[in-house]
């Protein structure tokens, strides 16, 4: 096949596909344009998750009628003039590609008026070709309407996800952009209904609460560090929540930076023994030290003095933790040191107050010695000694019990007090999308306003209390496993979580009767691993002990 130069129309569509990958990337470009125009109010409307309609309205500076036709031309921009300007960028947009790319793959209409002009203008473009340009009466600011995204690139349209997934992606984009722009009011509507509004805030902390909820902020510590190269500040959670929340902003732009994320986690590791920490961090740096032009959608960045910046991040967090006394502490004065061994030195061991008769299992005599560290149960069977993890053993039994209950349709119980739970809007959409799956595991709820749900029923074997934590952990499972669209796998993960939350816990004091019941049930079930694959029992034979003590 001979080599040919591609037609200009094909080149434009390929370029558009690199910038506009899905409805959420279209919303990102339009909202960022509004931020660049100094808008204080931005309204976003979508229909069919942006596939049919995306409409963004702002009260920004607007575009003059003379310049409006240029906005849909490739490489037409007010942000840069020379190559050197690429290294001084402080705005979100600068290449003049966003609107032109959207215009190539949709039916686009832009209406705008500058504040100091009496009349506005409107331009319409379909598939990259201008079909209308007129003067119109319009409020100051800009309205962009995108209809039938990818109508002329059907292959790209077929690769879009279902509406619920695409809608969630759009919500996340709006959340990401809204955090640093807390002085802007954001309202989001889907299919004619208001989904949420983030009111104008006067500080970053309040906006983070809007987006991530009070639990993130209550579980976080603020830090701030500055050196000759950059300023670094934000919030890091104490690791109590399991949500993988990580927001990294460089000069106000939300970015993906594995090296920055790794530097943050490494700096936190000796203070928070949990790699899945949550954080919202900001880097303010001279634009000449950052290259935001390495990805068509500006998702990734590259630092000029990377090693110095990473060292600065590590030192900044390390220093902040030392100042904040972030680690769990105890009062050394309350610890008594006494000579000799006394009864309290064995307080980690719980032995029955009265001797109990051994019980038989498959003809073998079973003797329970007691509980150690409030975590393990020690028992023997003739010439074998066993240590049993009380949590994993109980968890395995609960898991099997739950599966039987769900098969028999005995799955739910009404809550004693209907609990209201506030969720991130993206998490709320996950709950909506998976309502049937949740009902199948005994969880029923109803909406109680934007981002708020009211729990009606919970799984039958779940103890009442702390339902909010369970729901938020289930949301994480639905988000991570739900992407694979394997209902059985998602269902099984939720069952495992419920079993874990309703099982005997590490630290629970067990009576002899409770230990005996747990041991008997485990032996009958022959379950040697918990649902997550951890061992339930460890066996030591008499030969093992003799070998350990070098008796043989």
d(CA 257, CA 251): 13
Which residue's structure tokens are 């722009």? Answer: 181
- The whole-angstrom separation of Cα 451 and Cα 194 is 11
Per DSSP (E only), the strands in 206-278 are: 220-226, 230-237, 246-250, 253-254
- Residue 405 pLDDT: 77
The Cα–Cα gap between 100 and 143 comes to 16
Look at residue 239 and tell me whether its pLDDT is greater than 60.
Answer: no
- For 263, phi then psi, to 5°, come to -65, -40
CA angle 444, 447, 449 (to 5 degrees): 160
| pLDDT range class, residue 14, cuts 50, 70, 90 | very low
Between β-strands 193-198 and 185-190, what pairing exists: parallel, antiparallel or unpaired? antiparallel
Angle at CA 445, nearest 5°, toward 214 and 171? 55
Q: How confident is the model at residue 93 (pLDDT cuts 50, 70, 90)?
A: very low
CA distance 328 to 80: 50
Residues in CB range of 168: below 8 A, 6 or more apart: 426, 429, 430, 433
Contact 194, 288 (CB under 8 A): no
Q: Which pair of structure tokens corresponds to residue 160?
A: 């879009």
Tokens 């200009």 belong to 8
pLDDT-derived band at 419, boundaries 50, 70, 90: confident
Rounded CA separation 420/414 (Å) = 14
What integer pLDDT is reported at residue 545 of this predicted model? 80
What are the structure tokens assigned to 423, written together? 């969720």
pLDDT in the model for residue 9:
52
> Is the pTM value of this prediction over 0.85?
no
Nearest to 328 by CA among 274, 262, 261, 376: 274
**506's tokens:** 């590490």
- 213-324 has which fold? Ribosomal Protein S5; domain 2 (3.30.230)
Give the Cα separation of 241 and 473 in Å (integer). 9
Looking at the domain that runs over 8-198, which CATH code has it been given?
A: 3.30.565.10
> Are 284 and 309 a contacting pair, CB within 8 Å?
no
User: Residue 71 has what DSSP assignment?
Assistant: G
Dihedral through CA 479, CA 167, CA 280, CA 297, nearest 10? 110
The sign of the dihedral angle between the CA atoms of 208, 447, 44, 21 is positive
Q: Would you list the domain boundaries of the chain? A: 8-198, 213-324, 342-552
Q: Quick one: fold of 342-552?
A: Ribosomal Protein S8; Chain: A, domain 1 (3.30.1370)
| 332 has pLDDT over 50 | no
Percent of the chain with pLDDT over 90: 26
Domains 213-324 and 342-552 share a fold: no
Give the span between the Cα atoms of 14 and 84, in whole angstroms: 27
- Mutual angle of helices 425-433 and 163-178, in 10-degree steps: 170
Per-residue pLDDT, averaged over 426-431, amounts to: 86
Minimum mean pLDDT range among 17-26, 168-177, 250-259: 17-26
* 124-133, 178-187, 329-338, 497-506, range with the lowest pLDDT: 329-338
Q: How confident is the model at residue 335 (pLDDT cuts 50, 70, 90)?
A: very low
What mean pLDDT comes out for the span 240-250?
74
**Listed range (106-120, 179-193, 407-421, 433-447) with the worst mean pLDDT:** 407-421
> Alpha-carbon distance 5 to 3, whole Å?
7
**Is the separation of the CB atoms in 384 and 545 below 8 Å?**
no
- Helix H or strand E segment including 129: strand 129-136
């Amino acid at each position: 096949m001979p080599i040919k130069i591609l037609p200009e129309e094909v080149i434009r569509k390929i370029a558009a596909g690199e910038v506009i990958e899905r409805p959420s990337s279209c919303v990102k470009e339009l909202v960022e344009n509004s931020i660049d125009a100094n808008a204080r109010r931005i309204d976003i409307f979508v229909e069919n998750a942006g596939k049919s309609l995306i409409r963004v309205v702002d009260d920004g500076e607007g575009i003059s009628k003379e310049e409006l036709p240029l906005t849909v031309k490739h490489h037409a921009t007010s942000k840069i003039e020379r190559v050197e300007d690429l290294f001084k960028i402080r705005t979100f947009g600068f290449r003049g590609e966003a609107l032109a790319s959207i215009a190539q793959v949709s039916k686009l209409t832009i209406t705008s008026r500058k504040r100091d002009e009496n009349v506005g203008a409107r331009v319409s473009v379909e598939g990259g070709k201008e079909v209308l340009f007129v003067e119109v009466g319009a409020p100051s600011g800009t309205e962009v309407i995108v209809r039938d995204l990818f109508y002329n690139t059907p292959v790209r349209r077929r690769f879009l996800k279902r509406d619920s997934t695409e809608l969630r992606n759009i919500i996340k984009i709006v959340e990401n952009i809204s955090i640093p722009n807390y002085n802007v009011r954001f309202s989001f509507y889907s299919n004619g209904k208001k989904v949420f509004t983030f009111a104008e805030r006067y500080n970053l902390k309040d906006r983070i609460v809007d987006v991530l909820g009070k639990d993130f902020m209550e579980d976080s510590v603020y830090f701030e560090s500055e050196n000759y190269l950059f300023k670094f500040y934000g919030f890091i959670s104490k690791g109590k929540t399991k949500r993988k929340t990580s927001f990294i902003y460089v000069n106000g732009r939300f970015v993906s930076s594995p090296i920055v994320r790794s530097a943050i986690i490494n700096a936190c590791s000796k203070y928070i023994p949990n790699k899945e920490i949550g954080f919202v961090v900001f880097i303010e740096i001279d634009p000449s030290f950052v290259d935001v032009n390495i990805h068509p959608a500006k998702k990734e960045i590259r630092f000029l003095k990377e090693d110095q910046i990473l060292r600065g991040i590590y030192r900044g967090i390390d220093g902040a933790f030392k100042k904040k006394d972030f680690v769990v502490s105890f009062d050394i004065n309350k610890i008594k040191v006494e000579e000799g061994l006394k009864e309290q030195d064995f307080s980690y061991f719980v032995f029955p107050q009265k001797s109990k008769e051994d019980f038989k299992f498959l003809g073998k005599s079973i003797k329970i010695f007691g509980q150690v560290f409030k975590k393990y149960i020690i028992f023997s069977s003739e010439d074998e000694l066993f240590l049993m993890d009380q949590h994993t053993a109980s968890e395995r039994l609960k898991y099997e019990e739950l599966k039987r209950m769900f098969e028999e349709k005995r799955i739910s119980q009404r809550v004693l007090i209907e609990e209201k739970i506030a969720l991130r809007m993206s998490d709320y959409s996950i709950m909506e999308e998976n309502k049937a799956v949740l009902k199948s595991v005994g969880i029923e709820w109803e909406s109680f306003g934007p981002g708020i749900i009211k729990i009606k029923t919970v799984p039958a074997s779940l103890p009442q209390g702390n339902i909010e934590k369970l729901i938020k952990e289930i949301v994480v499972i639905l988000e991570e496993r739900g992407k694979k669209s394997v209902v059985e796998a998602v269902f099984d993960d939720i069952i495992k979580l419920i079993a874990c939350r309703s099982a005997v816990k590490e630290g629970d004091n067990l009576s002899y009767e409770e230990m005996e019941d747990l041991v008997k049930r485990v032996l009958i079930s022959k379950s040697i691993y918990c649902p997550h694959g951890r061992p339930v029992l460890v066996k030591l034979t008499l030969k093992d002990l003799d070998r350990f003590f070098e008796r043989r």
